[in-house]
Structure 1
Amino acid sequence: MPISTFRITRFQFARDRVIGDSQVRADDVNVAALELISESGEVGLGFIQTLFHPLPDQDEIEAVFSNEVWPTIKGERAIGLVHRVNRPRGGNQRAYSLPFHEALQVALWDLAAKQADMPLHRLLGSRRDRVRAYASGLDFHLSDDAFCALFAHAASMGYSTFKIKVGHPDFSRDLRRLDLLKKVVPDGSQVMIDPNEAWNSKEALVKLTAIRDAGHDLLWVEDPILRHDFEGLRTLRHTVNWTQINSGEYLDLSGKRVLMDNFGTDILNVHGQVTDVMRIGWLAAELGIPVSLGNTFLEIGVHMAAAMPEVEWLEYSFQNFDHLVETPIEIRDGYAYAPNRPGHGLVLSEEARRQWARPKRLERSQLGSAPKNDRLPLLP
């Protein structure tokens, strides 16, 4: 049935821990739920997220959505919209004024899969319903004690692969973090590092060599240098032959294509835009380049991961969002499981709508305590 209306619910709450990397940090959550509702009552759910600055008031979000997005989807069928190809020209090639892009794709695919009465990963062509998950700390701003507690907890949950943030101006701190990680996770664990573009290409070579010489084996290094330094990335791929380069996180769909055309990565990093991920995933398969799913809101990426043949890893970073939905994605013994419920399997919690909806923007000091996180104990 065609899409007949929409609903937006704005949320704002404190995080249960600071998250961040060598370039950024975030202390609160700013997100809005987008629900697309069909004439027969099915609901497609996506999330509008900003990491560092609060979203505007809910009525402003609704006004912008009504003006920029709604005219293009009202009365349309979701299954047709998810496959639509646009040819951007001139002034129509621009981003939305608010970050609707991913939320819209997720909500449309959710609605399309529900109307087909299929789990999203099955609609996307999956042959499995689980993928390996690695524990990612978003840990750059944590104390050493909190860092150790987080990864020891992850190891106790059955994770065997861990990614930490590096790129500190004092390189000895990066080496110390790797030493600490080795002490709190089981022998034989796999480790990745993520400098978040903190290095240049020669610096990356020197530091990756020092990490290897200090006795640390790396499964991959993620975004070691600037995203558009395709020559530098290509050189690192050939020079640093003891680990892999994982890149593409910060590039849009066309940028990822250029990255692969320039042989700039061993593993392509994608996120939560379902249509974009599947399109670039098909190209990566043609080129024989493996894909990894980086952070996706509420782990929605497990559906794309299960549907693409060369995806081995899904990132899980202990972000405190589970209370927003009735039943979160199951993660057990180092695997994330794609729900076999119709759609992507996530339904907005009415309790969360009552308790955590914030139609008006609040100051950080007004947010109070963070919601309880059942997947992560209180850190030191």
Structure 2
Amino acid sequence: MKITGYRTLTTHFPWQRAIGDANGSLPDAVTAVPVVIVETDTGLEGIGIGSHADLDRLFPAVEGEDPRAASALYDRMLAQVFKSGHAGATYGGIAALDSAIWDLKAKAADEPLWRLLGGRDRFVPGYASGLDIALDDEDLHRFYADYADLGFVAGKLKGGLDLAADQRRLGIVADALSAHTDHPGLMIDANESWQLKQAVRHLSALEEHFDLTWVEEPLRRWDAAGHARLSRAVRAAVATGENLTGVDQFRGLIEAGAVDIVQAGAVWGVTHFLRLAYAADLHDLPISIVGHNANPAVAHAAAAVPNHLTTEVQALTWAPGVVVDQEIGDGGILLGQAPGAGISLTEGKIIGDPPGAGWADPSGPHRRPSRAGLRLLLDGIER
């Protein structure tokens, strides 16, 4: 079996709510879902979700190759962009091709990907995440209560701009998630919006009222010394890494004792997650997937590593035209039995270009505000 070509599709996911974080928000959000289909000479096709970045530059590294050599092909793609570097957007293209190649490998073996990778239990624990900074209190409670009805006992609040608001909203999340536990897991995600001492002050105040499971991305992603100091200063675990591309970028954080929970963005693909999980396990660190909905294939890899902690679940449905053989319930993700990653396409249902800029909206969460980390007051007033 040889890889002969690829094609791309883009559908769009209507979130049916506002989404955002400390960097911005999108009302009535509709965002792009890039899909990559890798073709072979046998007619078998592999599907990857994530990014279309640099595909033309990356594809020669895998063209004509046997997709069953998935791990080696990942290294060939890294080598293909050796001079310019694989970080950032290029890594998204690598990940989409990588996920499609793993899908092909599992389909060729006529096995679900989780089993091919060595998984025994197809249930993957998860937590609820509303991307919720723009939700009012009523909608915030409704979102997490809906997840509690599905057995979820932990949730992550987007915050960091207003201490009083974070205290109030964490209480709302805790109340909504209390259907099955007296001690729901509570996390707060600042999305790199703080300086070190801002983080210590803010978290210390929150910890007077809440037993936080973790604080996520409190500081800039590369700040190993700052994260290490913060971890020593607060009770909550420090979780970070979703925006790091490549295991090499985690080296300084792990060596400095700067990360308590290693996070892997689902959008960076299957091989990245597997390698990072084993690197973390060498240091007795758990790993957690961020953004399961951005690439559901990575949940299969979570079932096959010894140190997976929990996976972020942001939505209960998929983009039009995308069918995923997974069920959300019992507080996590039940992986399906279909061969491959369990992703199929109904191309006639794919939504074309919607109104609005989606993730590219300059007021949205993918653009860092000019005063991020430079606010004197964290009271929701200063902008």
TM class by smaller structure = 0.7 to 0.9
For 1:150, the aligned partner's letter is F
The yes-or-no answer on 1:303 pairing with 2:300 is yes
The yes-or-no answer on 1:174 pairing with 2:166 is yes
Distance across 2 between alignment mates of 1:90 and 1:303: 29
TM-score, normalised with respect to structure 1: 0.84
For 1:8, the aligned partner's letter is T
For 2:211, the aligned partner's letter is D
- Superposition RMSD on alpha carbons, in Å? 2.4
Q: CA deviation at 1:101?
A: 2.3
TM-score, normalised with respect to structure 2: 0.83
Matches within 5 A, 1:78-227: 78-84=67-73, 85-86=75-76, 88=79, 91-94=83-86, 99-168=92-161, 170-186=162-178, 187-213=182-208, 215-227=209-221
Structure 2 partner of 1:355: 349
Match of 2:41 among 27, 33, 39: 39
Tell me the secondary structure at the aligned position of residue 303 of structure 1: helix
Match of 2:236 among 240, 243, 246: 243
Distance across 2 between alignment mates of 1:103 and 1:364: 24
Match of 1:275 among 271, 276, 293: 271
Mean CA deviation greater in 196-205 or 133-142: 196-205
Distance across 2 between alignment mates of 1:147 and 1:155: 13
* Alpha carbons of structure 1 residues 160 and 98: separation in structure 2 relative to 1, 3 Å: closer
* Alpha carbons of structure 1 residues 125 and 118: separation in structure 2 relative to 1, 3 Å: same
Structure 1 partner of 2:60: 71
Match of 1:318 among 315, 318, 334: 315
Distance across 2 between alignment mates of 1:71 and 1:218: 47
Q: Contact 1:298–1:322 (CA<8 Å) still a contact in 2?
A: no
Distance across 2 between alignment mates of 1:97 and 1:280: 18
Q: CA deviation at 1:9?
A: 1.7
Distance across 1 between alignment mates of 2:120 and 2:64: 33
Q: CA deviation at 1:108?
A: 0.8
Structure 1, residues 181-204: CA drift from partner, whole Å, max 9, x if none? 233221321111111112111111
Distance across 1 between alignment mates of 2:331 and 2:272: 26
Match of 1:339 among 336, 341, 352: 336
Distance across 2 between alignment mates of 1:183 and 1:203: 27
Distance across 2 between alignment mates of 1:326 and 1:284: 32
Distance across 2 between alignment mates of 1:304 and 1:179: 33
Q: CA deviation at 1:92?
A: 4.6
For 1:278, the aligned partner's letter is L
The yes-or-no answer on 1:364 pairing with 2:356 is yes
Q: Contact 2:243–2:265 (CA<8 Å) still a contact in 1?
A: no
Distance across 1 between alignment mates of 2:105 and 2:167: 47
Q: CA deviation at 1:365?
A: 9.4
Q: CA deviation at 1:124?
A: 1.9
Q: CA deviation at 1:180?
A: 1.8
Structure 1 partner of 2:17: 17
For 2:332, the aligned partner's letter is Y
Q: Contact 2:280–2:287 (CA<8 Å) still a contact in 1?
A: yes
Distance across 2 between alignment mates of 1:231 and 1:97: 27
Distance across 1 between alignment mates of 2:122 and 2:221: 32
Q: Contact 1:14–1:29 (CA<8 Å) still a contact in 2?
A: yes
For 2:168, the aligned partner's letter is R
The yes-or-no answer on 1:288 pairing with 2:284 is yes
Distance across 2 between alignment mates of 1:83 and 1:90: 15
For 1:46, the aligned partner's letter is G
Q: Contact 2:21–2:159 (CA<8 Å) still a contact in 1?
A: yes
Structure 2 partner of 1:378: none
For 1:235, the aligned partner's letter is R
Tell me the secondary structure at the aligned position of residue 318 of structure 1: coil
For 2:205, the aligned partner's letter is A
The alignment-based identity, stated in percent, is 30
Distance across 2 between alignment mates of 1:14 and 1:317: 12
* Alpha carbons of structure 1 residues 94 and 135: separation in structure 2 relative to 1, 3 Å: closer
Gaps of 5+ in 1: 50-54, 56-60, 367-380
Name the count of aligned residue pairs.
345
* Alpha carbons of structure 1 residues 135 and 12: separation in structure 2 relative to 1, 3 Å: closer
Q: CA deviation at 1:232?
A: 1.0
Q: Contact 1:82–1:108 (CA<8 Å) still a contact in 2?
A: no
Distance across 2 between alignment mates of 1:232 and 1:298: 30
Q: Contact 2:187–2:213 (CA<8 Å) still a contact in 1?
A: yes
* Alpha carbons of structure 1 residues 99 and 287: separation in structure 2 relative to 1, 3 Å: closer
Q: CA deviation at 1:205?
A: 1.2
Distance across 2 between alignment mates of 1:239 and 1:15: 37
Distance across 1 between alignment mates of 2:148 and 2:70: 42
Q: CA deviation at 1:165?
A: 0.8
